[in-house]
Amino acid sequence: MPNKYCSLDPDFPEHAFICTLILNKENKIRAPFFLNQVYTNLKELGTEINKISSELVSKPGWQVEENALITEITFVKLYPLKREYWGKPLLDYTFESRDQNLEAALLKPEMHFLLVTPSLFIEKDKSWYLTAPIAFLKSASDKTIEKFMLTSNWPVEERAKSAAIYHFSHDLLYNWQTHKTFFGSKNKKRMMN
């Protein structure tokens, strides 16, 4: 029987991206919505955005704006996982906390790195569902990351041997309706507010 903890090596792509959707309510309220998953292709992302957009139809007045912010991330190194990380979490890491953290990091990407975690191993096709839970200041130590891993309730596949550290590279805008990308978002702050 395979070891339950830290027995599988996740596949971390050299380059990937994370996505921020802009939700709009009656053209009055705009809010960033950070997708959990780390993506490697736009087709998969487009499918996910269509699904989210369809679900929002049931919430009167809300819609997904046609341009999403895509941030390319670049692999830096592995971060080893330890069996102790699957103890009793003390911190309820809410989506609101995650959104605030990622928004701050995306506004000053040169000052941050991103932790990417393997949240699920999909047995059927032997693939990994990778997520982007939190960004840290570049000056953060491994102890700071460990504190998050020890205390947070963010889901991480217990059989994974490692998470990964990524740097933020550059931004693109992705029109999920036309499937076109273009360089952009010189004013990310305005887009997210």
pLDDT tens-digit readout, 67-100? 999 999 999 999 999 999 988 888 889 889 999 9
| Residue 107 domain-assigned (yes or no) | yes
| Whole-Å CA distances, 41 to 44, 45, 70, 93, 171 | 6, 7, 11, 28, 15
- Looking at per-residue pLDDT, the higher value among 171 and 193 belongs to 171
| Residue 1 domain-assigned (yes or no) | no
Residue 156: predicted pLDDT: 94
| Residue 9 domain-assigned (yes or no) | no
Domain count, the chain: 1
Whole-angstrom distance, CA of residue 73 vs CA of residue 171: 9
Residue 59 Ramachandran class (φ > 0 left, ψ -120 to 50 alpha, else beta): beta
Q: Which domain, by its residues, includes 176? A: 15-192
Q: In the chain, which ranges are E strands? A: 15-25, 29-34, 62-64, 67-80, 112-122, 127-137, 162-175, 180-183
For 177, the token pair is: 């309706």
0.75 exceeded by pTM: yes
